Structure 1
Amino acid sequence: MYRPSGRFRRTGAERQDQLLSWNRDDVAFFAAGACHILAYAFIATYPDAGFGPVGLWPRGARDACHVYVTDGVWAFDHDGWTLQSELLRGARAAEPLSDLRPRPIRMGLDAFCARHHHRPRQCFAFDPWERALRYIARFPAPDANGGRAG
């Protein structure tokens, strides 16, 4: 069962103290605060697998509240592999008043961070890229036709 990113929101103290935020477990870290880093690290790891970054935008928001990758069927984020339909169902059920809508992100990580107020790599307590790569390695790679392997 998909665990929506909203379950892992950072506390006020974690938002102010990057070391405190960094010290959360990987699921919480990549659910809330570094989801965009995980998404772009996934794309860098599997550039030919047919996945692209997608943001979940609450109604009327200028910035995405969560970022994941998808090939249109499968999605990958803090919760590992999930059918995109299940991810959307779970996220919307957790925040029904937000009217969450997926939108493709058509820019690189640095541009996304600047435009949508997401923390760039250099503003974390430590560079989160290697941590994201280690987290991604825990899961099966996408199969040769895109989508989830095994």
Structure 2
Amino acid sequence: MPAVAAGVFRRTPIERADQRIAWERGDQAFFAAGACHILAFTCRDSYPDREIGLTAMVMDGDEHPFHVYATWQGWALDAAGWNPEHEVLAVNTAFEGRRIARVPITAGLAGFCATHLHRMPDQYWRDPLPRARAYLSGFTPPWDVTA
């Protein structure tokens, strides 16, 4: 599917306050806003033979990222699947109407979550890791397409 801005799926106040309601959103919405970091880290962990990077999008003037995705050789994996990274950045920049910095993530999941106020898997209504693995399996990695 084509790249879609994460902000299209931004959680409502009730979805932010109630983890069960947030959990019940469709997979694309869940992994676009609220669990994007879980999907990105799951992607990296699912392909240990590939040099998968992790990148955060931070809007100009903000301290914490609003979206996280996995990268591989110019490709980005987020809730919309694998798309050219420049397209993922472009749709998010256009939607937000602000400059977005691309910030590599070097910390592990726990360190990233602690630093950037994101939830660890055990802080969701249910364990999001099996859901992330299942969702990820629906996307063909670019190395299987371009090889």
| Both structures adopt the same fold (TM-score exceeding 0.5) | yes
The aligned counterpart of 2:131 is 131
TM-score, normalised with respect to structure 1 = 0.92
Deviation at 1:32, TM superposition (A): 0.2
Give the aligned CA root-mean-square deviation in angstroms: 1.4
Ranges in structure 2 where 5+ consecutive residues have no aligned partner: none
Figure out how many residues of one structure are paired with residues of the other and give that number: 146
Matches within 5 A, 1:69-80: 69-80=70-81
Show structure 1 runs of 4+ deviating over 3 A.
Answer: none
TM-score, normalised with respect to structure 2 = 0.94
1:20 aligns with 2:24: no
| Residues 74 and 118 of structure 1, relative CA distance in 2, 3 Å threshold | same
The aligned counterpart of 2:53 is 52
The answer to which of 13-22 and 65-74 deviates more is 65-74
- Contact 1:140-1:149 at 8 Å conserved across structures: no
Give the distance between the partners of 1:55 and 1:19, measured in 2 at CA: 25
- For the residue of structure 1 that corresponds to 2:45, the secondary structure is helix
Matches within 5 A, 1:1-150: 1-97=2-98, 99-143=99-143, 149=146
Deviation at 1:38, TM superposition (A): 0.2
Given residue 95 of structure 2, which amino acid in structure 1 is its aligned partner?
A: A
- For the residue of structure 1 that corresponds to 2:69, the secondary structure is strand
Ranges in structure 1 where 5+ consecutive residues have no aligned partner: none
- For the residue of structure 1 that corresponds to 2:143, the secondary structure is coil
Q: Percent identity, aligned pairs only? A: 40
Give the distance between the partners of 1:149 and 1:41, measured in 2 at CA: 22
- Contact 2:31-2:39 at 8 Å conserved across structures: yes
Give the distance between the partners of 1:149 and 1:67, measured in 2 at CA: 24
Given residue 4 of structure 2, which amino acid in structure 1 is its aligned partner?
A: R
Given residue 106 of structure 1, which amino acid in structure 2 is its aligned partner?
A: T
Given residue 112 of structure 1, which amino acid in structure 2 is its aligned partner?
A: F
CA offsets 1:26-72 (integer angstroms, 9 cap, x no match): 00000000000000000010122221110000112111000001124
CA offsets 1:1-46 (integer angstroms, 9 cap, x no match): 3211000000000000000000000000000000000000000101
Given residue 6 of structure 1, which amino acid in structure 2 is its aligned partner?
A: G
Deviation at 1:141, TM superposition (A): 3.2
- Contact 1:43-1:52 at 8 Å conserved across structures: yes
- For the residue of structure 2 that corresponds to 1:143, the secondary structure is helix
